[in-house]
Chain A
Amino acid sequence: MIRLEDVTRRYGDKTAVDSLSLEVAEGEVCVLIGPSGCGKTTTLRMINRLIEPTSGHIFVGDRDILSMPAEELRRGLGYVIQSIGLFPHLDVAANICVVPRLLGWEKQRMAERVDELLALVGLDPAAYRHKYPRQLSGGEAQRVGVARALAADPPVLLMDEPFGAVDPLNRERLQAEFARIQRELKKTVIFVTHDIDEAIRLADKVAIMRDGKLQQFNTPEEVLNHPANKFVHDFVGADRALKRLVRVRVADVMRSPVTVLADADPISLQEAAGRRRFAYVVQPDGRLLGWLDTRSLAEGTRPAAAMTQMDVAEASVRPDDSLRDALSRMLGLGFRSIAVTDKNDVLLGEVTFAAVEDVMTEGDEHVSNQPTEAPE
């Protein structure tokens, strides 16, 4: 979908981007990452021709971008920047409709699109449509920025540190929403960030750059498991094992739990518990109530009376959460396993500490301190 061939950009003596070659397949999220000044923004802006390459070729959907008018190219590439750049004199609806208006859409269609997009990015259309940018919080403004980039349904999104200016809590929320939107829309995305956690969380492919040169271009798993050289190794950080957890969803490793019904008979309880010591207590509709220690059960007590009640929202994770979320919950609660529930508190499974450990250690190997050539 997007292909960079030997792209170089020089500023005087300085080479901001040095014969960079990249290929991003349709529907993939490619995250460009590297230290400040390594040429991420320059690379991104060459793709929409805000900067012209000194040499090399860039193709978007098999067309050399130099062969089409810059304006036409840009209308097909959604663009989100860290400083957002909403138009202060236009309300939210008009901001979102900038590109549709350039394309000459009809009023009705634009109004429908605004509502659809606001809902998509998690803002109530009725409440936000007619607000002005300065009435929005940073997170809201960034959501509008994303909606604006998506307005004319461009196949490609270029995002330059889109969540760089929001606080960490909102940042995680925006990342989660971006991941959800991306699962739904399947855009081809080039995403610039400073934040390795963000990269690992969102990327299908990570491109790590240094001084304008590509160091490694591969899946997050590969980058974590097999850093191409010392720079990548150090850049990814010492907690590679923990980072790996971000890539694995709870749903992928959960196992079925031992459960008992709250009003079950004490005898059948002993059988149900089998060899496992702890069991979850659920209602007939599957909703989680608490847990109990089968060995300390006195004869004749019903599970409902013997169980320890749980604050289910606090003490469980969702199937879409990452293993890192699961681990930090477990550590926070001091448990060796954690329940997985859906949004109605229905118990779906459990994740054990051992399963988390397995993921952390898998594919772990020593990395030589010898820098190796960056692979193509």
Chain B
Amino acid sequence: MKERRSIGVATVVVAALAFSWLVSAQGLWQSFLRALFPAQPVVLMPRDTLAAFVLQHLALVGISSALTIAVGIPLGIFVTRRSGREFRGLVVAATDLGQTFPPVAVLALAMPVLGFGFWPTVMALFIYGMFPVVSGAISGIESVPKAVLEAAEGMGMSPWQVLLRVELPLAARVILSGVRTSVAINIGTATVGAAIGTGGLGVPIIGGLAVQNMAYVLEGAIPAALLAVLADAALAQVEAAVTVQEAAAG
């Protein structure tokens, strides 16, 4: 069991290294895209290097997802507490609404407040990725069997002890799968941020669509897809790590 996990972790690390090498190999992309689109005079967007686009993208996703997680999980926990139960419906409805909105609309709404650029996009992504995190936290915690909670309380655990020693460990898997979904959504949605001048892998995609240069589009789309796969695999490892005890029990 432990062995299989370290193999999994090693695979993810190797894949991450391969990915960073790939996106910094500017020459390789040049020849690859030129072979695909021989008619295009320019196949890589000159505004920045591919590595720079990837880094901008990572910054966008990293910051917004970190914020989403930092706010979403506690929010989910809060509405499952006795004191916060009355807000449960409101929070679920609000986060649900946040996701129903198209991300561009969220951007448009964020713009007047936060202006152009990086932070409005972070804001939009933060809101957009909130739903899976909050609903994952709620359903994870609510999936803990009532009998287990009654036993925990009946044995004299304080509410904090019940949360930390019983609810969170048992909910971890569901909470993390919410996080996984949210990050995957964010990586894709972050490309839209380019529309308001954020940078990231959306720049070659949107720029390529504007000037009808498919090579640019691929320059952004392929790394974005790889990044999504990579992030998902990495989070899958985290998920496996927190649920390993239960798996051993099965």
* Residues in A lying within 8 Å of B, measured CB to CB: 48, 50, 70-75, 79, 81, 83-89, 91, 98-99, 102, 132-135, 148-149, 158
Contact = CB atoms under 8 A, between A and B. Distances in A.
A98 B155 contact: yes
Contact of A79 (B149, B151, B166, B169): B151
Contact of A89 (B146, B154, B161, B169): B169
A85 B149 CA distance: 7
Contacts of B146: 83
A89 B151 contact: no
B113 interface: no
B142 interface: no
Contact of A85 (B150, B161, B169, B250): B150
Contacts of A84: 147, 151
A201 B181 CA distance: 56
B153 interface: yes
Given A88-B249, A134-B250, A81 B150 contact: yes
B246 A85 contact: no
Given A87-B166, A89-B246, A50 B161 contact: no
Contact of A87 (B148, B154, B158, B250): B148
Contacts of A85: 145, 147-152
B155 A133 contact: no
Interface in B135-174: 145-158, 161, 166, 169-170
B245 A89 contact: yes
Of B151, B153, B155, B170, the most chain A CB neighbours within 10 A belong to B155
Contact of A99 (B153, B156, B245, B250): B156
A86 B161 CA distance: 16
Contacts of A50: 150, 153-154
B248 interface: yes
Interface residues of B, number: 23
16 contacts: A50-B154, A70-B156, A71-B156, A74-B155, A79-B151, A79-B155, A81-B147, A83-B145, A85-B150, A86-B148, A87-B151, A87-B152, A87-B166, A91-B249, A99-B155, A132-B248
A102 B156 contact: yes
A38 B26 CA distance: 78
Contact of B156 (A74, A91, A133): A74
Given A102-B155, A132-B245, A134-B250, 16 more contacts: A48-B154, A50-B150, A50-B154, A73-B156, A74-B155, A75-B156, A79-B151, A83-B150, A84-B147, A85-B151, A87-B170, A88-B145, A88-B249, A99-B156, A132-B249, A134-B249
B25 to A, nearest CB: 45
A155 to B, nearest CB: 14
Contacts of B149: 85
A84 B148 CA distance: 8
Nearest to A103: B156
Nearest to A85: B151
B250 to A, nearest CB: 7
A86 B156 CA distance: 15
A272 B246 CA distance: 68
A73 B149 CA distance: 17
A70 to B, nearest CB: 8
